Structure 1
Amino acid sequence: MTNILTAKELQQKIALAEAAKASAALKAHEAAEREKHEMMERLTRPSGLSDDEIVEKAAAIVNRAVENGQTSVQVFRFPHSICTDNGRAINQAEAGWEKTLTGVPKEIYEFWKRQLQPRGYHIRFETLNYPGGMPGDIGIFLSWV
């Protein structure tokens, strides 16, 4: 014959299940935070790619956009916090905004200046969203018209 648990035993069972859920949620949150931290670390350092490797990647992105009839394309997206001023100068379109760039975004800007601007390409850095009313992610766009 099957035993029926007491109300106290049921409450303990529920408490254990809730604790397990909370523990799993905490572990998932910690993993997401670690992943976010690792991504920020990667983005704040140069990629290590050569100009030839960057040209190859840029050509693939631009050619795909042209095949789709586009005259510009977003080539990168990054969190505002990578900028030394949290993206304020970009958001305000201030002169010298490019001096606030670090890591990969800075590398992309410098590559454009060296390789793509002389070929007639334009670059635009734009705040893409405003979570909580504050600048969020920034997009890097290349155009050729």
Structure 2
Amino acid sequence: MLNIDELLPTAKEILKQSALKEAEKAEEYMRQTAAADAEKQALIEELRKPWALSEEEKLKRASTIIQRAVRNGLHEVQVYRFPNALCTDHGRAINQMEAGWEKTLTGGPKDIYQFWKDYLQPRGYKIAFQIIDFPGGVPGDIGITLSWG
């Protein structure tokens, strides 16, 4: 003879099992989110470091980028995109176009700005840093555009 208690749990027991399963899913989601956040933070910390490129290598890269753009009929080219976390103020000064915004740069973006200041600006090139997306209505990534026209 079949025992109904072994075959069919009560609604209360099913709800408890369902709640445990949902809690496991939420826990896994939180673990994955924490891991992704840690990975992103580690990448940002790595990007904050100055680039270990020689001046010659920087000049070669700049020349390659500019020449490719010219061959394609362009007068400007986006040379870099970076998260606003690489600015000490998360891009606020760039977004507000405040004087001295360049002092908020760190890592690669700071290197690019200094390279432009030292080599490209004296040759007539212009540079623009601007917020290029606004996820959730707040400043997001920043683009660096080099122009010569």
Name 1:88's counterpart in structure 2.
Answer: 92
Out of 37, 42, 47, the position equivalent to 1:38 is: 42
Instruction: Name the residue aligned to 2:74.
Output: 70
Taking the aligned partners of 1:22 and 1:66, their CA distance within structure 2 comes to 51
Q: 2:9 aligns with which of 6, 9, 16?
A: 6
Deviation at 1:6, TM superposition (A): 1.5
CA shift for structure 1 position 114: 1.4
Which segments of 5 or more consecutive residues in structure 1 lack a partner in the other structure? none
Deviations 1:98-119 (A, max 9, x none): 1222221111100111122233
The residue aligned with 1:106 is 110
Residue number among 125, 130, 145 corresponding to 1:121 in the alignment: 125
Structure 2: gaps (5+ residues): none
How far 1:25 moved relative to its partner?
0.8
If you compute each CA radius of gyration, which structure gives the higher value, 1 or 2?
A: 2
Structure 2 residue identity aligned to 1:44: R
Q: TM-score, normalised by structure 2?
A: 0.79
- Tell me the SS of whatever aligns to 2:50: coil
Q: Output the aligned Cα RMSD.
A: 2.4
Show the counterpart of 1:20. Answer: 24
Give me the whole-angstrom Cα distance separating, in 2, the residues matched to 1:23 and 1:59: 50
- Paired amino acid for 1:62: I
For 1:105-135, what per-residue CA distance to the aligned partner results, in whole angstroms no more than 9, with x for missing partners? 1111001111222333211011112334432
Equivalent position SS for 2:74: coil
TM-fit CA distance, 1:137: 1.8
Identity %: 54
- Deviation of residue 46 (structure 1)? 0.5
Rounded Cα–Cα distance in structure 2 between residues aligned with 1:93 and 1:132: 21
1:135 aligns with 2:144: no
- SS of 2:88 mapped into structure 1: coil
Q: CA deviation at 1:63?
A: 3.2
